[in-house]
Amino acid sequence: HGTTMMFLFAVPIMTAVGIYFVPLMVGTRDVAFPRLNNYGYFVYLIGGILLYISFFLNTGPDAGWFAYVPLAGPG
């Protein structure tokens, strides 16, 4: 729940607010690199899909809370 809220809601919302308000504050009609914005959207989309695929398949990175490699493993 927390991962979904932070990485799939909070970060994209802040990015969208920036993409919307910065051109208005500068006085332009559009952003400088619209294809780069489109690429960023698809990167978020693919990342979210991979997050949920790893959740439903019960797989994930072999690291703990602080991204340390486990000291003891199977075998």
pLDDT at residue 74, rounded to an integer: 62
Give domain limits for the chain: 2-56
Residue 6 has pLDDT above 70, yes or no: yes
Q: What is the pLDDT at residue 72? A: 63
% residues pLDDT > 70 (the chain): 77
The pTM of this model reads 0.63
* pLDDT band of 67, cuts 50, 70, 90: low
Cα–Cα distances in angstroms (integers) from residue 44 to residues 8, 9, 12, 47, in the given order: 7, 10, 8, 5
Residues 6+ apart with CB under 8 A from 54: 60
pLDDT of residue 42: 94
